Amino acid sequence: MIRLLSLLLLVVAPAAFAATAEDHYQSARKALTARNYPVALDAFEAALNMEPDNIRYASEYRQAVIGAAQYDRCIAFFEKLVAVHPMASSAFLNFGFAYVDKIPAAGSITQVILANTALTYFSKSIEIKPSWIALYTRGNSYLYWPKIFGRASLGVSDLEKAYQMQKMDRVKRSYHVRVYISLGDGYWKTDDIDKARAIWQEGLAQFPDNEQLKARLAREGDALAEYIDSVLDPNKRVDTNLQEIWTNL
């Protein structure tokens, strides 16, 4: 009998003690608190291998990567992840963000290449699932391209779709303000200042405390141009932390 129980335990034990994605995630967070980046990154990757579409794991993984300046490791990881999970839209989205995260650490021409590659993976994410976050992300990314490349109108198109999506959402979510800001910036970049001011006004009515909307509406002409150019400066690190998304789902 004892022998039988032992055998049973031997069989069951590996299953009972196999770490879950959440276990790896918690290990990663713990390691991160101790600033142990190698362990944290390994654990985040283990979690994502089990749940490739988990936006929280992916976002926190990338923030850890930024802290450790391990941009190429992150890109290589997502490349493998999407190869194994070709329908994981969030993984593709974060693959794109992995390129965006590297931009401030790169030379100016590499920045262009990274930004363009990011757009490729944002597009793949939209192709799989045209989510609000993916449309907003790609639309906003187009706005960082200088006028000469004529990409702002593509950004406006994406952001208008994201705008329609959030209009259909019965819940007002804090991150919806981003579309009001970016869509206005898109209109401004395509020389439609009236539409820009109208959408910023609409956003301010929805989010009366938003300083970014107030700042835009308080400026005109060169002052507004200088402000938006400063916001869309590719040399500044873009905040790609998606915490606001999962905390407001």
Partner 1 sequence: MKRLILLTLFAAGLPLSSHAAGPGETVIRFEEIGEKAGARFVHQTRKFKGAKSDVLEMFTSGGSAVAVADYDNDGFDDIFLVDSDEGASHHLLRNNGNMTFTEVTKTAGVGGGNDPLSICADALWFDYDNDGWQDLMIVRFGTPLLYHNERNGKFKDVSAGTGMTLFTNAIAAIAFDYDNDGDLDVMIGNYFKPVNLIELKTPHVLPNDLDNAINGGGVTFYENVGKGRFIDVTDKSGLGRQTGWTLDLGHGDFNNDGLQDVYVACDYGTDRIFFNEGKGVFRETTETSLGFDTKKGMNAEVGDYNNDGWMDVYVTNITDEYMKECNMLWHNNGDGTFTDVSKETGTCGTLWGWAAKFGDFDNDGWQDIFAVNGLRSAGKDNYIPVVVNMITTPGIDFTDVNNWPDIKDMTWSGYQKKKMFRNLGNQNFKEISGPAGVDNVLDGRGLALADFDRDGLLDMCQTNADQPSLLYRSVTQNPGNYVELKLVGTRSNRDAIGARVKLKADGKTMVREVNGGNGYAGQSTLMLHFGIGTATQVDAVEIRWPSGKIQTVSVPINRLTRIVESK
State the Cα–Cα distance between residues 149 and 142, nearest whole angstrom: 10
Q: Does 109 bind partner 1 (CB under 8 A)?
A: yes
- With contacts defined by CB under 8 A, how many residues of the chain interact with partner 1? 17
Binding mask 166-195 for partner 1 (x = CB under 8 A): ------------------------------
Nearest to 203 by CA among 223, 224, 184, 229: 184
**By the 8 A CB rule, do 238 and 209 touch?**
no
Exactly one of 3, 5, 108, 167 binds partner 1 (CB under 8 A); which one?
108
Give how far Cα 44 sits from Cα of 94, 110, 228, Å.
13, 27, 35
Q: Does 112 bind partner 1 (CB under 8 A)?
A: yes
Q: Does 230 bind partner 1 (CB under 8 A)?
A: no
Which residues ranging from 191 to 220 are in contact with partner 1 (CB under 8 A)?
A: none
Instruction: Give the nearer residue to partner 1 in terms of CB position, either 61 or 78.
Output: 78
What would the two tokens of residue 106 be? 């790169």
Give how far Cα 160 sits from Cα of 11, 100, 155, 179, 182, Å.
55, 22, 8, 8, 10
- Stretch binding partner 1 (CB under 8 A), from 49-57, 86-94, 197-205, 227-235: 227-235
Exactly one of 76, 87, 149, 191 binds partner 1 (CB under 8 A); which one?
149
- Stretch binding partner 1 (CB under 8 A), from 39-47, 82-90, 132-140, 146-154: 146-154
Who contacts 125 (Cβ-Cβ below 8 Å, separation ≥6)? 89, 90, 92, 93, 96, 131, 134
- For 36: left if phi > 0, alpha if psi spans -120 to 50, otherwise beta; the answer is beta
Distance of alpha carbon 189 from the chain centroid: 22
Exactly one of 36, 49, 117, 157 binds partner 1 (CB under 8 A); which one?
117
**Cβ of residue 103: shortest distance to partner 1, in angstroms?**
12
Instruction: Give the nearer residue to partner 1 in terms of CB position, either 84 or 113.
Output: 113
Binding site for partner 1 (CB under 8 A): 106-110, 112-113, 116-117, 146-150, 233-235
